[in-house]
Structure 1
């Protein structure tokens, strides 16, 4: 037996949209221009704040040990995300009458649903495609670009790391930076 459930049309679908008031239009444009500016200000403020802390800790020395540098790079991302997400949330909590555009939600950050097993399968498929395409691009670059050296070492600033420094550098390069980038650019700016 087949059951069919008919749903009545929503009442709002047949009604025309009401035009935006000038204030609503201004808020929409301010939001559109304001969020990218807010991202920039958050990262600049976090960088300046962490640089000032590093300067005060080492009293203006020209060379700073590697471990504090790695910790400060991680701190820049954490402080920037705290400013970027936390300050609008705090403003919304303190002043509940603020416009909805000041609310930070998981959906606004790009978190639309929880992970499912098929997502891991898609990640594996994407990784395999990435490896194949990068091998093709590398072979093409070797073939057609004179002077292209595929074995040239890249200077990332993390060559002489040992112990905890290596673990922190891994966390910074592989975990913190990509998560922060995805949250900010794909979630926060493009939502």
Structure 2
């Protein structure tokens, strides 16, 4: 970053740290989440009526377990990178970042996690790395789960997704600690950041 650009970056960060801006962001994110649900309400209602009650309850429980497991994996990754967070601050950082997904742009959940995490002494580069790794874990685990489910569903239900059964074992290699560590190191070098360090 050039010397001339640094004051502008500091001013931008100061704006993001403003309590007013943060509350506006939170309210806007919640409002957009409500709008997203409302826009699909008819389809959701129809789908819910078609599902047996046990299936609907199971789907809801699976969704809650998914969110909780995603939170635990993100928190464990953040701790492993050097920034362990107590439960309450971790829930605050993760919760706001998840609501931020509803803000158009696709990056605001990461920005929110980095900014709120910085309040708890988590370096922004470390927040970015933890979020990226959590997404990677979600993609790999989801692909492996889909491959297992499709393999027991029968050939007639594959509908062109049989390739997942071949890709899933290859993706699992990415979760081997030695491989994952190297990927993170490469990513940090590309970002010109030292390994697991400062803001």
Q: Which interval holds the TM-score relative to the shorter structure?
A: under 0.3
Larger radius of gyration: 1
* TM-score, normalised with respect to structure 2: 0.24
Query: Structure with the greater relative contact order (CA < 8 A, sep ≥ 6): 1 or 2?
Result: 1
* TM-score, normalised with respect to structure 1: 0.25
